[in-house]
Amino acid sequence: MNKQISTMRQSWWKILTIGLLLYTLIAGLLLDVPRLPILNETIRALHFHVTMWFGMILMLIVAVVYSIKYLRSNDLKHDDMALEFTNAAILFGVLGIVTGMLWARFTWGDYWSGDPKQNASAIGLLMYFAYLILRGSITDSQQRGRIGAVYNIFAFAAFIPLIFVLPRLTDSLHPGNGGNPGFNAYDLDSKLRMVFYPAIIGWTLLGTWIATVRVRVRRAERVLEDRLINS
């Protein structure tokens, strides 16, 4: 009984994750939304496209923190966390681009219109794909961790202005860019916020769940390899 209670206490955030994502899916598709020109029902993509990218940014921040920790300690456990949170962030970045393309198809008339923010997002994800390729090309675990950590830090430093600053300096179809008012200015009403903020928390927790599971798998594989080497 005590073991079951302890397990429940450790899993509360996983239960919360499932609840928040079910709420996001149901409420995001069924609750009333503002009736705006062009957007109409497609504004519901806000709860998926935008919130996934918010979750991605939060996971990249966690990855950078663990990259710094690794550089200070050379502890492979920190490198595992940095890698897997980056992997989870890349997954949500790809999902964010796909859902954004679907949104663009019905609001701008095409899946990919060469919008500065679309292009910047694609470039940013390519930078992180390069991070994975770079890591895969290095065999020594300590060297891989150090080079990967440095790359991760600089990639994040370039990624943020690439997707948040540069598109605002040019004409863009995205709200809040190129002179277009942002959502907060005219249509992120209380109904949208009721789903928007829980969705950010839900996607971020899901990414954390995925990352921590993969970290445990990586560590188990490392232990198994060490045992095989020593046997």
Angle, alpha carbons 167-183-94 (nearest 5°)? 55
pLDDT for residue 186 is more than 50: no
pLDDT for residue 178 is more than 50: no
According to the 3-state scheme, what is the secondary structure of the chain? CHHHHHHHHHCHHHHHHHHHHHHHHHHHHHCCCCCCCCCHHHHHHHHCHHHHHHHHHHHHHHHHHHHHHHHHHCCHHHHHHHHHHHHHHHHHHHHHHHHHHHHHHHHCCCCCCCCHHHHHHHHHHHHHHHHHHHHHCCCCHHHHHHHHHHHHHHHHHHHHHHHHHHHHHCCCCCCCCCCCCCHHHHCCCHHHHHHHHHHHHHHHHHHHHHHHHHHHHHHHHHHHHHHHHHC
Q: Average pLDDT over the chain, rounded to whole?
A: 84
Across 206-225, average pLDDT: 91
pLDDT for residue 33 is more than 80: no
Q: Which amino acid is at 165?
A: V
Q: Are 92 and 59 in contact (CB under 8 A)?
A: yes
Which pair of tokens denotes residue 129? 């794909």
Q: Which amino acid is at 147?
A: I
Q: For residue 40, what pLDDT is reported? A: 67
CA dihedral 170, 173, 174, 177 (to 10 degrees): 30
> What's the rounded Cα separation, in Å, for the pair 120 and 162?
6
Across 6-13, average pLDDT: 69
Across 188-208, average pLDDT: 87
Instruction: Count Cβ atoms within 10 A of the Cβ of residue 153 and give its class: 0-12 exposed, 13-18 middle, 19 or more buried.
Output: middle
Which pair of tokens denotes residue 74? 């050379």
Which domains occur in the chain, in start order?
15-230 (1.20.120)
| Torsion angles phi and psi, residue 56, rounded to 5 | -60, -45
Which pair of tokens denotes residue 225? 């390899």
pLDDT digits (tens, 9 = 90+) for 69-79: 999 999 999 99
pLDDT category of residue 179 using cuts at 50, 70 and 90: very low
Q: Are 156 and 64 in contact (CB under 8 A)?
A: yes
Measured in whole angstroms, the distance separating CA 95 from the mean position of its chain's CA atoms is: 9
Q: 92, 121, 62, 77: which is closest to 206 by C-alpha? A: 92
